[in-house]
Copies of this chain bind each other. A is one copy, B any other.
Amino acid sequence: MTKGDGPVSSVSWQSIRDTMMTRIRAHDYAPGELIPNEVDLATEFGCARATVNRALRDLATSGFLDRRRKAGTRVREAPRRKATLTIPLTRAEVEASGARYEYRLLERGVEVPPPAVRGKLKLAGDERLLHVKSLHLADDVPHMFEDRWIVLDTVPEIEAVDLAKTSPNVWLVRHAPYTHGTMEFLAETAGARAKHLICAADDPVLTMLRVTWLDASPITFARQTFSPSHRMRLEL
């Protein structure tokens, strides 16, 4: 050992985070109340302020603490718990379940979109979009039906892509990553999609809407409808 004494028992920021978490849960620090400042905590834990800072920053981004310069750090009254949904790449999702994935292009065309779609993409004019319908299967069983509009002004290259081989989502992930977007979940009846999902028209199905943007330019609006009984899972 170059340092002379054992494992240099310094305190890790994770251990501080865990200790503070325990105290918060035990209400050692009351909800809404200030906790000691970083310098004092560093003294208590016998470590540098930077280490305490890292621990508290982590708890703040997890939603358990509120931090403001000069005002100090306080325990959130109602912890803003967050669930992280790793956005499913359909192929990976299906294969992770051990099933064989298959993608089928159903329709492809360049059209003027209906007003609802224009609204989602915040398009003012009547520009033409690429409209694609596809079916994604797991072990030959319909898994998800997708109805997608793609803004050709934003990603013109996709018009030349053979979408029978490459699904629009796969191509977009690779060639046109978005900067931000929104997602919605809703329940509706299968309706006309029942034919593709092989279910009854009045079966309730889970639908996921997604709109993505490249800075100020809309990229795509996708409506993905899962087969009945499908559940979207998240870890907390």
Contact = CB atoms under 8 A, between A and B. Distances in A.
Per DSSP, are chain A's interface residues mostly helix, strand or loop, or mixed? strand
A180 B236 contact: yes
A204 B188 contact: yes
A187 B202 contact: no
Contacts of A204: 187-189, 204-205
A213 B181 CA distance: 32
B185 A231 contact: yes
Interface residues of A, number: 46
A236 B181 contact: yes
Given A189-B204, A235-B180, A87 B78 contact: no
Given A25-B177, A78-B173, A92-B78, A85 B187 contact: no
Given A78-B89, A78-B173, A202-B202, A232 B83 contact: no
Contacts of A231: 184-186
Contacts of A89: 78
A212 interface: yes
B78 A83 contact: no
A42 to B, nearest CB: 18
23 contacts: A63-B86, A78-B92, A78-B173, A80-B86, A80-B87, A81-B87, A82-B84, A82-B87, A85-B85, A180-B235, A180-B236, A182-B236, A184-B232, A184-B233, A184-B234, A185-B234, A186-B231, A186-B232, A187-B187, A187-B206, A204-B204, A206-B206, A210-B236
